[in-house]
Amino acid sequence: KQEVTQIPAALSVPEGENLVLNCSFTDSAIYNLQWFRQDPGKGLTSLLLIQSSQREQTSGRLNASLDKSSGRSTLYIAASQPGDSATYLCAVRTNAGKSTFGDGTTLTVKP
Amino acid sequence: DGGITQSPKYLFRKEGQNVTLSCEQNLNHDAMYWYRQDPGQGLRLIYYSQIVNDFQKGDIAEGYSVSREKKESFPLTVTSAQKNPTAFYLCASTPKGALWKNTEAFFGQGTRLTVV
């Protein structure tokens, strides 16, 4: 059974810092890995999708990497801003119709 | 604009009552999903549907039921058999085709259900 772990559970940084969020998974037979952002009481917004054949994806200040063999993905946020404060979830898709989510990392960026 | 709409945003239910959460999408997606999220936790899959008139149980289907009579609609009923129904419920969809498992999932804004 696929298990997804996100570390740390919570992170607080001053504005302007670069930071890394981690996601690890136990079954490397994945189709893709997706990073989401969730604001309190809201749905999920897709940030980046990495296919199993890719190593990384970039969007603006965000960069996500994928190392299937070691079962790890990282989300790098450059020059963090208070508006980046949210919970970040990673999800791996391992078979048709099902994705497994981590518990998320709650990020607080202080002005 | 295309998207997924969940309604209502907040829902209160008395113990012993069934309640139905709505999920509608106009993205022309074949596959739709229902997830449950509890405080400080990730999402757990309740039910999913790959095509109209077909659906499968996810990891925590007990106490829930779904229907998929139309491509754009995937309502979730929380029955009185669900022992701990208070949670945040999220609906999602993905595009059709053999490659759909390699595509992004799109989510609605969620429904917060509280049992009183």
| B93 close to B105: Cβ distance less than 8 angstroms | yes
Predicted confidence (pLDDT) per residue in B47-102, tens digit:
989 889 999 898 899 999 999 999 999 999 999 888 899 999 999 998 864 344 55
CB A1 within 8 A of CB A91: no
> Residue B19: helix, strand or coil by DSSP?
strand
Write out the residues of chain A at the interface with chain B, using a CB-CB cutoff of 8 A.
Answer: 4, 6, 9, 31-32, 34, 36, 41-46, 49, 51-52, 89, 91, 93, 95-99, 101-104
Q: What is the rounded average pLDDT for all residues in chain B?
A: 88
Kindly state the average pLDDT of the residues B13-41: 91
Q: Which range has the top average pLDDT, A1-5, A10-14, A41-45, B82-86?
A: A10-14
Contact A96 B101 (CB under 8 A): yes
The nearest CA of chain B is from the CA of A93 a distance in Å of 7
First to last CA, chain A: 41
| Cβ separation A101–B101 shorter than 8 A | no
